[in-house]
Structure formats: structure tokens, C-alpha cells
Homo-oligomer: A and B are copies of this chain.
Amino acid sequence: MDGRAVWGRVGETRVELLSGSPLEGEPGVLGTIPVAGAVWLPPVVPGVFYAVGYNYPRHIEHAGAATPERPEVGYRANNALTGHRSPIVRPAEVTGRFEAEPELVAVIGRTVRHATYDDARKAVFGWTIGNDVSARTWQHQDRTFWRSKNSDTFKPMGPWIETEVDALAQTTTLSVNDEVRATFPTGDMVFDPFDHIVEITRHITLHPGDVLWMGAESTCQIDPGDTVEVAISGIGVLSNPVHLEGNHS
């Protein structure tokens, strides 16, 4: 609004602009704009950005990895976040496979520690969509995922947070240039988001705004000039063009 970033409540045709974060209270409505006029930022910037690795049986089988015996998480970095419709910029020096990973994202709404499964359900404010863009050559070369998964623009998230959906009963679809590359049941996980919240909060306090990316079953190559879309039924579609660094066309 007037060049400032504000929270919004997204309706069918209009966005209500809010006076504050709905994660922190009951914000007032400052005005409305048409949905078509919105510029989309990541719907939240987390205090901690959790990401699950191997969590879909077919992904684990494909990777030849062991099925995890209990939930485990890693981290991604906020610098890499970008919003719906913003470009994923492939660094000029990236070689080899450059891939999209379509993921369900749980957005935490409460401060929670030592959660039961029921507490964990209540701790989720809502659901959004993430694309865990990965440069595979760097992923294999490096000791950590710092540049392979956390270079600027490698973590599109959005378009919004859906608060009224049974997220685990949905279908995830990954498309490039309107061609479907993968589709899988969103909830076909080894451990679901609530299992992860129970395990994490044995040792760690989760805070409002923290996000938990739930892993992907399938991935696909993306190239400069493509538009990649991650759709989760009941939530929305996260769409991003792919650019080559230094090339703003």
C-alpha cells in the first residue's frame, strides 16, 4: 500500500489490506484492492525456516535412501524467499540439473513446546505452497545446502496462506509452461506435519510465523524462459518465471 508491504486477506475478487499480522492478533481493515492488482510477497517471513527432506515413499525409493525412522528436519534461509510471480533467478555459473520441488508448507500460528498430536493440529495457522528450487551440482559438491538450495530467489513461497483446508487430503501438481510434470497425493507422507511438530517440540519451541516445508515426491528440470507452477488443490497455485542471472528478459 503506497509502496509499503502490508498483510492482506485474500477474497475471490478483492484483497482486504490489514493493519497488522493476523498471526499476532485481530488486525483492522485499511482498505481493499482488486486481487488482480496485488504484488505478492512471501506470505510470511519466518523466525525459523524448517524443511523436511525425505518424506514421500516414492521419493525415498527413487533416491535409494532409507525410510526415516522418525521425523527429522533441516533448515532453509530467508534470503532465498520470493513471492508468487517473482522470478527464480538461475545463477550464471550453475551447471547440471536445476530443479523444482513442489512442497506443502505449514505455517505455525502459536508458540508451542512439548506438543501432543492434537496440540500440533491447533498450532498450524494455515497452509501455503513452496518450491524448493535446487541446483544439483552444488548440492552434491558442497558440505551443506547453502548455495544449492538457499541462493537468492531459490525459495518461492505463496501465493497466500489458506486457513480453511484439509491440506493432507489434497493433490499436488507440478507444471512447467502449462504442461504437467508430476502429480501426487499431498498427504502421502511418511510422517505428516503434526508428527513433525510433535517431534520438533520435544526439544524446540515453535513460534508464530515459523514455517515447515514438508518435502516433495517428485521434481522436474526448470530452465530460463520457463514458467513453473506448483498447485495444491484447495490452497492455490504458486507460479514463477525462471530467469537467467544477468538476463532480465
Contact = CB atoms under 8 A, between A and B. Distances in A.
Interface residues of A, number: 31
Interface stretch (A18-26, A74-82, A163-171, A231-239): A74-82
Residue with the highest number of chain B CB atoms closer than 10 Å, among A73, A113, A207: A73
B146 A72 contact: yes
A79 B206 contact: yes
A42 to B, nearest CB: 12
A203 B144 contact: no
B204 A77 contact: yes
A189 interface: no
Nearest to A70: B142
A202 to B, nearest CB: 8
Given A45-B47, A47-B45, A204 B75 contact: no
Nearest to A144: B74
A79 B144 contact: no
Contacts of A203: 91, 147, 151-152
Residue with the highest number of chain B CB atoms closer than 10 Å, among A45, A68, A143, A200: A143
B147 A79 contact: no
A53 interface: yes
B146 A79 contact: no
A76 B144 CA distance: 12
Interface string A171-211: 00000000000000000000000000000101111110000
B204 A151 contact: yes
Interface of A: 45, 47-48, 53, 68, 72-80, 91, 113, 142-144, 146-147, 150-152, 200, 202-207
Nearest first, the 9 A-B pairs at minimum CB distance are: A151-B203, A74-B144, A75-B75, A48-B77, A147-B203, A73-B146, A47-B78, A79-B204, A79-B205
